[in-house]
Amino acid sequence: MESLSNVDVSDEEEEITADIVLKTLQTAWQNECLAPEILPHNNDMVECMLGQIQHMERNINKLPKTDIRASIHKMELSRIKFIICNYLRTRLNKIEKYCISILNDERQRMETGTNYLTVGEFKYAQEYLLNMETHLKNVVLDKMPGNMKTLEMNKMAVYPNLQTHVFLKANSTISGVVLEDLVGDQDEEIDLEEGSQHILQYKPIADLVKNGKVQLV
Amino acid sequence: MFAEKVIELLKESERNPDTIDPFKDEKIRQILEEMQTLFIMNMNDANATTENKSLWTTVQVRHSALERNKRCLLAYLYSRMEKIKTLRWEFGSVLPPDVRELLSDDEYEWFSRYSTNLASYMRSLGQDIGYSGIDLTENLRPPKALYMEVVCTTDYGKLELSDGDVVMLRRNSRHFLPAAECQTLVRQGVLKQIV
């Protein structure tokens, strides 16, 4: 919300903040595309950017059609729009794929107020799961004999693979990231220097991605 | 052999991973019938196991066959749902009649619900700041240029652009249009991009 109010303060500041908003959005998009699980939403940034787009579109429309500035700005706008659409779409794809596990986790997170999904996304996920359930029930489950009728959600659930490896870049110096040793019991501790790049398992650095200390590349 | 038909069903649909086959009503009915028979046999034998322990293994095998059938049927439906989802993104909320025929009634019902749900989510986007929603099915590919050259494949009629200009789309006519506005038509096959 902070950035939203910043933008409205004065016209001079607007350009700098709009730039930061775009950068944040780009990072969020990049992280979302590369992370195996769903990340906390960035709805404030998206809405702020949408506001900016609207504002810029109005300005462009004032320019004559043949003005070169108009086409350059339009091109830039369509790029930003693509980023927003792709970001939201990536999230939707994850929500659909990991629907059951995301909804279960989200219900716990909602109690602590640290929800990852926006209200709209949560509604979408619930509706999606409900539709899937009704469909499966109508087509086959209801026609099955006695004790086979129930849909076992746990057996159907797809979980994101947190053990996968990701490329990442440290935004600040972080010391003491614990890498679990799955086979033996020799846990390893490493330090990430600012600006350094690594290939690591996603799970130990998941929290660092969420609070922006590292960035996936 | 137990669960033979369901494997056939899955193999058939796996053979064409990118296209959607007609819904196999008959086969599914047969599989459900097999399950019913297995279940009844199991019921009879399970009641008898109290005296005769040797039947226990038979019951177990039949039960796992039942479980397998169920799992595979669900997988079949699930993979079809995945395919139907891509249809929604490609064609929009109205399916061409030849594709519509490939879905069963229940699947079509699911498709419309999925479509409505997606539409209401897209409408809710940015509502707080007075936006009327974003169509996520646009901008599927990164934009390369503002305008693109297209040729029309059918007599489509008039197309009104967002700046108020009206373009007449006739068969085999060529146009130079804003990419954002003709992408949907390109995906529907009305326009074809000239590279």
Tokens of B146: 């503002």
- Domains of chain A are 1-97 (1.20.58.1030), 98-158 (1.20.58.1030), 165-216 (3.40.5.60)
Domain locations in chain B as residue ranges: 4-123, 147-193
Pick from A96, A44, A120: which is nearest to B88 by CA? Answer: A96
Q: Does A124 or A63 have the greater pLDDT score?
A: A124
Q: Which amino acid appears at position B47 of this protein?
A: N
Domain B4-123 fold is Methane Monooxygenase Hydroxylase; Chain G, domain 1 (1.20.58)
Contact B128 A47 (CB under 8 A): yes
Whether residue A127 is predicted with pLDDT greater than 90 in this model: the reply is yes
Q: Say whether residue B124 is in contact with chain A using an 8 A CB cutoff.
A: yes
Condensed to tens digits (0 to 9), the pLDDT of residues B173-195 reads 888 888 877 777 887 778 888 87
Beta bridge partners of A167: A199
Contact B117 A124 (CB under 8 A): yes
Contact B23, B104 (CB under 8 A): yes
Contact A6, A13 (CB under 8 A): yes
Same fold, B4-123 and B147-193: no
Pick from A61, A63, A37: which is nearest to A164 by CA? Answer: A37
Band (pLDDT 50/70/90 cuts) for residue A189 is confident
Point out the residue among B32, B67, B138 whose CB comes nearest to the CB of A143.
B32
Pick from A28, A40, A38: which is nearest to A215 by CA? Answer: A28
Looking at this predicted complex, what is its ipTM? 0.79
Helix B179-188 × helix B56-91 angle, to 10°: 130
Band (pLDDT 50/70/90 cuts) for residue A3 is very low
**CATH number of this structure's domain B147-193, picked from the four choices 3.40.5, 3.30.110, 2.30.30, 3.90.320:** 3.40.5
Contact B27, B8 (CB under 8 A): yes
Phi-psi region of B164 (alpha: psi -120 to 50; beta: other; left: phi over 0): left
Phi and psi for A149 in degrees, rounded to 5?
Answer: -70, -25
Contact A121 B117 (CB under 8 A): no
Query: Mean pLDDT for each consecutive 10-residue tract of chain B (195 residues)?
Result: 81 83 86 88 78 78 88 89 88 83 89 91 77 75 80 84 80 84 79 82
User: 3-class SS at A51?
Assistant: helix
pLDDT at A11: 42
Tokens of B165: 């200009």
- Measured CA to CA, the distance from residue B134 to residue A199 in angstroms comes to 36
Contact B124 A120 (CB under 8 A): yes
- Measured CA to CA, the distance from residue B177 to residue B181 in angstroms comes to 7
The DSSP-derived string for A140-168 is TGGGS-GGG-S--HHHH-----TT-EEEE
Q: Nearest residue on chain A to B127, judged by CA atoms?
A: A47
Global pTM reads 0.82
- Residues 6-35 of chain B with CB under 8 A from chain A are 28, 32, 35
Q: How far is CA B183 from the centre of its chain?
A: 21
Whether residue A94 is predicted with pLDDT greater than 50 in this model: the reply is yes
Band (pLDDT 50/70/90 cuts) for residue A13 is very low
